């Protein structure tokens, strides 16, 4: 005869089941709240920051990354593509009319878009949100989205951003968009990696993935007169070495990275004199914090598949994960 479990044991299982249901619903509620707060959070911790640092950010972004450059140069004549999150437009100068390739750049920052438009007049640049691209679907041969998607604050928004990139690419002949003469379009995506143990930042597997990265901005020093410029160089041994102090620092240099839940960097000293001289106040460095999600190994590929895409090739380069993707069947 089967043994009947005691009522106290059954009650315990019921309580555990109810607790599990409560925990699951509570977790879903937190996720929904985070998703709803995403746009406002990113406006403050990403978009406003880029507007504030746009001029200097542009001056520090001028050298194309090798894999991105090769991807662009591999596009055949007649190709039309997008640079989604183009920043100052440094990749718009890689290919042009001489190669028979046309690129439309877009960025969420009006200031960076203006810089891109004026600096690279051979291509167009417009203000656009990656989550709401104004381009026709399934119309472009290629796209690049470099160092953009890691700024979205939830996985749902990051997957949606990948989906927007996939949505503008040409599909394979016979796909849902009908017969097309050209093959499927491809996109190259770059995101910051969590695994950076050999970099100055020291991030690595198992660490915090959502971080605030400081960008320290100081007022440029006034131009020196000719007499001042003739001052002797600092002496090191038997050689004269010019003192080249950096006016500004960014994430490419040593920087203290804080958890995304903490918003305070360089808090004011309560004991400091509130009546600071205007000149000293003008030269006081200002710290801006940008939100980043650091991608662990394999996470970018997971987001691509979740968004309905196919990973053609992927890899790691200089503290970044990258992937070449195309629309799924």
Q: What is the 3-state secondary structure (H, E, C) of the chain?
A: CCCCCCHHHHHHHHHHHHHHHHHHHHHHHHHHHHHHHHHHHHHHHHHHHHHHHHHHHHHCCCCCCHHHHHHHHCCCCCCEEEEECCCCCHHHHCCCHHHCCEEEEEECCHHHHHHHHHHCCCCEEEECECCECCCCCCCECEEEEECCHHHCCCHHHHHHHHHHHHHCECCCCCECCECCCCCCCEEEEEEEECCCCCCCCCCCCCCCCEEEEEEEECCCCCCCCHHHHCCCCEEECCEEECCCCCCCECCCCCCCCEECCCCCCCCCCCCCCCCCCHHHHHCCCEEEEEEEECECCCHHHHHHHHCCEEEEEEEEECCEEEEEEEECC
Q: Could you tell me the pTM of the whole model?
A: 0.74
Least confident of 77-91, 113-127, 223-237: 223-237
The pLDDT of residue 185 is above 80: yes
pLDDT score recorded for residue 77: 96
Mean pLDDT of 235-263: 41
**283-315 tens-digit pLDDT:** 678 999 999 999 999 999 999 999 999 999 999
Q: What's the pLDDT score for residue 130?
A: 98
Right CATH for 66-195+295-327 from 3.40.50.1110, 3.30.420.40, 3.40.50.150, 1.10.630.10: 3.40.50.150
Tell me what the mean pLDDT of segment 108-127 comes to.
92
Report pLDDT for 241: 30
For the chain, give the percent of residues with pLDDT over 70. Answer: 66
Highest mean pLDDT among 91-100, 226-235, 288-297: 288-297
Q: Where in the chain is the domain with CATH 3.40.50.150?
A: 66-195+295-327
Check residue 248 and give its pLDDT: 33
């Amino acid at each position: 005869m089967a043994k009947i479990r005691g009522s106290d044991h059954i009650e315990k299982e019921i309580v555990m089941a109810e607790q599990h249901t409560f925990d699951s619903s509570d977790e879903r509620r937190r996720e929904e709240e985070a998703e709803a707060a995403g746009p406002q959070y990113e406006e403050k911790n990403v978009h406003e920051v880029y507007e504030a640092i746009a001029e200097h950010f542009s001056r520090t972004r001028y050298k194309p990354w090798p894999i991105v450059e090769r991807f662009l140069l591999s596009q055949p004549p007649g190709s039309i593509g997008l640079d989604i999150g183009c920043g100052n437009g440094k990749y718009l100068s890689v290919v042009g009319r001489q190669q028979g390739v046309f690129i439309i750049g877009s960025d969420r920052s009006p200031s960076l878009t203006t810089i891109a438009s004026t600096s690279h007049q051979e291509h167009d640049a417009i203000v656009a949100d990656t989550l709401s691209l104004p381009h026709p679907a399934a119309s472009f041969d290629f796209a690049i989205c470099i160092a953009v998607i890691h700024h979205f604050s939830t996985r749902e928004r990051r997957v949606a951003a990948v989906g927007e990139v996939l949505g503008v690419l040409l599909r394979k002949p016979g796909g849902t968009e009908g017969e097309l003469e050209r093959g499927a379009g491809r996109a190259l995506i770059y995101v910051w990696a969590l695994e950076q143990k050999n970099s100055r930042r020291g991030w690595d597997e198992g660490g915090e993935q959502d971080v605030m990265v400081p960008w320290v901005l100081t007022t440029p020093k006034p131009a020196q007169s000719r007499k001042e410029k003739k001052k002797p160089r600092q002496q090191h041994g038997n050689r004269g070495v010019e003192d080249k102090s950096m006016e500004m620092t960014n994430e490419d240099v040593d920087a203290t990275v804080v958890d995304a839940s903490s918003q305070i960097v360089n808090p004011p000293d309560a004991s400091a004199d509130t009546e600071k001289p205007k000149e000293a106040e003008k030269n006081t460095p200002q710290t801006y914090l940008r939100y980043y999600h650091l991608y662990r190994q394999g996470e970018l590929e997971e987001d691509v598949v979740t968004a309905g895409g196919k990973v053609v090739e992927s890899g790691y380069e200089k503290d970044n994960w990258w992937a070449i993707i195309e629309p799924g069947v």
